[in-house]
Amino acid sequence: MTFDNPHLLDPGVTVNSYIEDDYETRFNAALRPWDRESVPDAGLLGVPYDGASVVRSGSREAPDSIRQSFQYTTTYSPDFDVDVADLDLADLGDVNVDLMDLRTTQARTASVLGDLYDLGVTPLVVGGDHSVSYATVAAACQRPDVDSLGFVQFDAHQDLRHSHGGQPSSGVQFRELLEDDEFPEFAGENYAQVGIQGFTNSRYYMDYADEQGITVFTGREVHKRGIEDVVEDALDVASTGTDAIFVTVDIDCLDLSVAPGTAGLNAGGLSSWDLLEGAFVVGNHPKTVGMDLVEVSPPNDVEDLTSVVAANVLLHFLGGLTCR
């Protein structure tokens, strides 16, 4: 059967491996172009939309920049003794976004993801700004096997705002989901935020999170306790009584020294090691059905540092998935 969702385009770029070695596989070589007939275990889906960005735009360029950054990676990690080439992996392409219409873009993204879930593909969605997550979470909620969805958010900001000047933005999507009667599967009691940090938040929204039953692990707590303990607790929150877990990674959870290419620069954020370890652990959890990674802004980056980190976050998630 041919996958024929009208909202899916071919990838913006196809990157070939620059190094040939009979005993080493570049990730570019393992991430094959999708023929839309086979069913890969997992796949990369780009959503090049940044029309809801509040501070700095440019994240529409992230899917292709991250694809380019895979040239620096291989499929094997000695840290976990895992080779992600053991999975059948594909570059699924890009959602045909409408840069002038947020709601149309979200609907198209959810439509593509729904069809991918029906096939049994685990999606790794690359935005785009964080408004993309309204669609990724909605699609996970609408899976026929999900009555309750657990959620883990790596982020410096809570994204629980009402609006920006009365308009939707990249900071309102999780409040919208919590307050939308269409998604009873998504509730605060199974929602964990990791890395919320810095003088970039609001007591009002922290109180809202508390009212909703959301569990917040601040960046300071991660630094003091260690990422392993915090992510273990976050997964307990997300997995208790739920059918599945979805994970979102806003790259601005990282310290600006390792992620300068993002809309919301974050001094004192998580280390890259924290996020890589966290991505592996959540990918390894048996209930995890997918992830998104957002807010990489290549025009604001320095020597592609942020795109390279993001590519490695995706690989660590796949490493966890492989170990399952």
Query: Are the C-beta atoms of residues 315 and 84 closer than 8 Å to each other?
Result: yes
Q: Is residue 250 over pLDDT 70?
A: yes
Q: Is residue 3 part of a domain?
A: no
pLDDT one-digit tens code per residue, 87-133: 999 999 999 999 999 999 999 999 999 999 999 999 999 999 999 99
Q: What is the pLDDT of residue 167?
A: 64
- When pLDDT is averaged across residues 217-230 and rounded to a whole number, the result is 97
Q: Is residue 17 part of a domain?
A: yes
CATH of the domain at 126: 3.40.800.10
SS3 9: strand
Q: What is the pLDDT of residue 244?
A: 98
Q: What is the pLDDT of residue 135?
A: 97
What does the mean pLDDT of the chain come to?
A: 94
Structural domain count of the chain: 1
Q: Is residue 268 over pLDDT 80?
A: yes
Q: What is the pTM for the complete model shown?
A: 0.96
The single-letter code of the amino acid at 271 is S
Q: What is the pLDDT of residue 320?
A: 98
Q: Is residue 166 part of a domain?
A: yes
Q: Is residue 313 part of a domain?
A: yes
Task: Between 25 and 248, name the one with better pLDDT.
Answer: 248
Q: Is residue 1 part of a domain?
A: no
Buried b (16+ CB within 10 A) or exposed e, 29-68: bbbeebeeeeebbbbbbbbbbbbbbbbbbbbbbbbbbbbb
Q: Is residue 279 part of a domain?
A: yes
CA dihedral 224, 306, 277, 253 (to 10 degrees): 40
Q: For residue 165, what pLDDT band results from cuts at 50, 70 and 90?
A: low
Q: What is the pLDDT of residue 84?
A: 98
Domain span at 104: 8-323
Work out the percent of the chain whose per-residue pLDDT is above 90.
84
Q: What are the φ and ψ backbone dihedral angles of 29, each rounded to 5 degrees?
A: -70, -30
Q: Is residue 262 part of a domain?
A: yes
Q: Is residue 229 over pLDDT 80?
A: yes
